[in-house]
Amino acid sequence: MAKKQGYICIFITTVLFSSMEAVLKLIAGDFNPIQITFTRFLVAGIILLPMAARTLRRRDLKLEKADYIKMAGLGFLGILFSMTFYQLSILYIDASVVAVLFSCNPIFVTIFAILLIGEEAKLNKFIALAVDLAGIVFIIQPWHLDLNILGVAFILVSAASFALYGVLGKKQCAKCGGIVVTCGGFIFGSIEMMILAGLSHIPAVAAGLSGGVLENFAAIPFFSGYAMDNLLVVLYVYICCTGIGYTCYFLAMERVSAQTVSMVFFFKPVLAPIIAALLLGEAIHGNMILGICLILAGSLISMADENPLQHFRKERIHDA
């Protein structure tokens, strides 16, 4: 029964995470990107609090001052920095491109894990990197660039910094648990963004940031943009995509193997462009299809020694 619940959670997470970019694009013009980022992660952090408290009780663990400091640092990197660039990228390029390019963050995870925490440099990982990079090249098409270069740069910075966030948080997750670290990072990161938003209202700061690329950082609003015609989409983003999405992700982690749960990010590059096409009318061009296929191939090669499909089949046989 627990494994069946895990598979249901994986399905829910996959759909919610794959729809994220498309629904964010629907309301991108109604809100400041910083505003919507700190709000949705604050909501998600609050939703994760009961699970985090349960994890601490189960481990008989009490957080120390150093743990809070580390989670605050992870929140700064993974939420304030990475997710700000993620949200900004949606303003400049198609939601489908954002979803696919962000899904290639395992490229950066592999690099950072080898350089920073001494993980083994396996041949299949380097082959996967080359295949993933080829996929990115075909999506961006630098020889015939139709995409906004600023949007591409923003999402690649977001993917790289989110990967660094994951690698640096690995040791803390081993001590406190992934739910606790994620919940703490979400809450600390959103509070840090709210402090940034407050500082942006200082007249001299707002004047210095006004105009150009930094316009979105000037006088960041807290409550503007909400209206009856976008309320359902906002609630879907805050509660479903971010809150329920991450909750189901970690519930799945408790019930099935991590390799099986990783299938969420295997299917996202395929499902997200389809959802964007249905909701936003975004075209799926040939170069996008080729890029998606290459990134999926890179994922399969990377997981060659820990294939989630193999784990899935083993778990089905065990249940039977």
Q: Please give the distance of CA 165 from its chain centroid, rounded to a whole number.
A: 11
Query: For the segment 271-307, what is each residue's pLDDT rounded down to a tens digit?
Result: 888 999 999 898 888 888 888 888 888 877 776 655 4
pLDDT of the residue at 309: 47
CA–CA–CA angle 249, 254, 256 (5° rounding): 85
CB 276 within 8 A of CB 48: no
Domain locations in the chain as residue ranges? 2-319
Q: Which residues does the chain have with pLDDT short of 50?
A: 307-312, 314-320
Please tell me the predicted confidence (pLDDT) of residue 308. Answer: 46
Rounded Cα–Cα distance for residues 168 and 185 (Å): 12
Do 239 and 248 form a contact (C-beta atoms < 8 A)? no
**Prediction pTM value:** 0.82
Dihedral sign, CA of 32, 182, 171, 130? negative
Determine the pLDDT at residue 137: 82
pLDDT of 172 reads 83
CB atoms within 10 A of CB 62: 7
pLDDT at 123: 80
- 10 Å CB burial of residue 134 (0-12, 13-18, 19+) is middle
Say if residue 264 is exposed, middle or buried (CB neighbours under 10 Å; 0-12, 13-18, 19+). Answer: buried
Tell me the three-class secondary structure of 36-90, residue by residue. Answer: HHHHHHHHHHHHHHHHHHHHHHHHCCCCCHHHHHHHHHHHHHHHHHHHHHHHHHH
Interval 99-157: pLDDT, tens: 888 877 777 877 888 888 777 777 877 887 888 888 888 887 776 667 788 888 999 99
Written as one letter, the residue type at 131 is V
* pLDDT attached to residue 67: 93
What does the pLDDT read at residue 192?
96
Q: What is the pLDDT of residue 236?
A: 95
Torsion sign (Cα): 32, 34, 39, 44: positive
Taking alpha carbons only, the member of 80, 58, 81 closest to residue 187 is: 80
Which secondary structure element, helix H or strand E, spans residue 170, and what is its range?
helix 170-176
d(CA 35, CA 223): 8
